[in-house]
Amino acid sequence: MKIVIYPGTFDPITNGHLDIIYRALTLFDKVIIGILLNTNKKPLFTTEERLEMIEKSIEGIKNIEVKTFDGLLVNFADEMKASAIIRGLRQVSDFEYEFQMALMNRKLNENISTVFLMPNEKYTYLNSSLIKELARFKADVSDFVPEIVNRKLKEKFL
Ligand code: COA
């Protein structure tokens, strides 16, 4: 059974993240979404809210699980018996940071590979900060996020 981890902050999950998840499901038997607990970022949504939004967004999809993790990603991957980590590459500017992380993770655990997937080009300019900024100023973000996220953003920025 080939298990892969898709890690991130997911503050909040976007259609770009979901696009990567669907692609990963065609390559692996099981995808585990790992929400990082202690991030340097100051998330808008609590861990519970992020977890709920992801769970609702992937409702009905088989071979997928959502978990939270703390500490090193490779340790979490190892614990989950995953052989790989998925990261999305949206543009060239993502590459340098991702390359560094992939090599460091490989140095930490030789048995876990990083696999890069490219989302549909319509999502290449998305990130969670941009979505939050648009929502804060009441712009319509419904094309970019799942319905539940759209609703939660509206509630946050009433
Ligand atoms: N569609 C839309 N947005 C996307 C995206 C996609 N397909 N892929 C990434 N993004 C966005 C995210 O929304 C996020 O936006 P934001 O910065 O505005 O919040 C940004 O791109 C990148 O963030 P994310 O994918 O959440 O990664 P991260 O950089 O916050 O976290 C971890 C990366 C969790 C993998 C890394 O911090 C980690 O492994 N931490 C654990 C500790 C560890 O092992 N450290 C050693 C690493 S060598």
Ligand 1 in reach of 23 Cβ (< 6 A) = no
Instruction: Take atom 29 of ligand 1 and give the residue whose Cα is closest.
Output: 8
Residue 104 CA: distances (Å) to CA of 73, 101, 107:
11, 5, 5
Q: What band does 101 get if pLDDT is binned at 50, 70 and 90?
A: very high
Tens digits of residue pLDDT in 50-84: 999 999 999 999 999 999 999 999 999 999 999 99
Residues annotated as catalytic (active site), given as ranges:
17, 41, 90, 128
Angle at 53 (CA atoms; ends 32, 79), nearest 5 degrees = 20
pTM: 0.95
Ligand 1 in reach of 16 Cβ (< 6 A) = yes
For residue 36, give the ligand 1 atom closest to its CA.
Answer: 34
Q: Name the pairing type of β-strands 64-69 and 84-88.
A: unpaired
Over 90: is that where the pLDDT of 39 sits?
no
Q: Name the pairing type of β-strands 84-88 and 3-8.
A: parallel
Ligand 1 in reach of 57 Cβ (< 6 A) = no
